[in-house]
Amino acid sequence: MINLKNTLFEKKLKVTPQRLKVLEAVYNISHPTAEDVIKYIRKRYFDIATGTVYKILETFVEKGLIKKITTDKDIIRYDGILKPHHHLYSLEGNLIKDYIDEELDKILQEYFKHKKISDFEITEISLQIKGKFNK
Amino acid sequence: MINLKNTLFEKKLKVTPQRLKVLEAVYNISHPTAEDVIKYIRKRYFDIATGTVYKILETFVEKGLIKKITTDKDIIRYDGILKPHHHLYSLEGNLIKDYIDEELDKILQEYFKHKKISDFEITEISLQIKGKFNK
DNA sequence: TTCTTAAAAGAGAATAATTCTCATTTAAGA
DNA sequence: TCTTAAATGAGAATTATTCTCTTTTAAGAA
Ligand SMILES: [Mn+2]
Ligand SMILES: [Mn+2]
Ligand SMILES: [Zn+2]
Ligand SMILES: [Zn+2]
């Protein structure tokens, strides 16, 4: 259980009710959209302007408190899990699940220690695994 | 050099000038947006309605002639390369480059032949490699 | 080679996701 | 408590995409 106030404070961000709840939302929802975050806050706490949520999410990404994840939709999704990890994408619906696999990470790390990509400096590697969830 | 007409014909798609040029565009532009495709066609050939391009792109995806690729922007990008491959994403700009590495593919294939993911059937695995292009 | 017709394309309005502008409020430090 | 830069809110604007409806056309039938 992380202290949200302190998380903001450490990044020199003003501690506002809106920021606290947006952070809580992204930590509690799996790969939420901005809309998901807005619903989460409005249902539980208070009304909040959509522009405020978009602004806060962007700020958090810049400060490294959250990440964006990639999708093939015209919609942005966020991730509260900072540790590099992989994602399982449903080919049918919109479901995205985390996939954590340290053995795989070691294999990849080892592979790219030797194999260099010309003119490119790797920061982060993640797998996109597309397929079907068997309910 | 592929025969575009025949590609459409084989998928039982009516061969229209618009479809031929959209297909050509996706094959010739690296990871284009719908807007990129529209510009490509308007500059070289003829005017085309934006709705037509979106519709055609969607049809091509359904028929497996092209793929969507994932981004962390609210914009959809397409890929004319059907063979599974990986992508290098620039952390700064919008640049996305293909990364093809058969040795790596073998390693992954071997790894996931044994390692099963519970309740998930893998269709396709691709790496997202984020980092910096050294121009 | 016409003729027919279902499918495709086009124009433009509608919707969805995100960003912007500017007035008001507020966190935080003096 | 006071001050003020920064954050929020309301709503308009912009951007990407989809939809609706009319017109055009590819392709097979006659
Ligand atoms: Mn949209
Ligand atoms: Mn947008
Ligand atoms: Zn995740
Ligand atoms: Zn590609």
- Between CA A82 and CA A64 the distance in angstroms is 8
Residue B122, CA distances (Å) to A27, A108, B68, B117, B126 in order: 27, 18, 18, 8, 11
By C1' distance from the Cα of A48, the closest nucleotide is D9
pLDDT: which is higher, B134 or B36: B36
Question: To probe the interface with B, which of A117, A118, A135 has the most B CB atoms within 10 Å?
Answer: A117
**pLDDT band (50, 70, 90) for residue B92:** confident
Residues A40-65: tens digit of each pLDDT: 999 999 999 999 999 999 999 999 99
Q: Separation of CA A51 and C1' C21 in angstroms?
A: 12
This prediction's pTM: 0.93
Q: Domains of chain B (ranges plus CATH)?
A: 4-79 (1.10.10.10), 86-131 (3.30.1490)
Find out whether A57 and A34 touch, Cβ atoms under 8 Å.
yes
- Between CA A25 and CA B99 the distance in angstroms is 35
Q: Largest Cα–Cα distance in chain A?
A: 52
Residue A66, CA distances (Å) to A62, A81, A83, B95 in order: 8, 7, 10, 22
Q: Cβ contacts (< 8 Å) between B115 and chain A: which residues?
A: 101, 103-104
Q: Cβ contacts (< 8 Å) between B72 and chain A: which residues?
A: 68-71, 76
Cα-to-chain-centroid distance, residue A84: 10
Q: Is the CB of A54 under 7 A from strand C?
A: yes
The reply to whether B101 touches chain A by the CB within 8 Å rule is yes
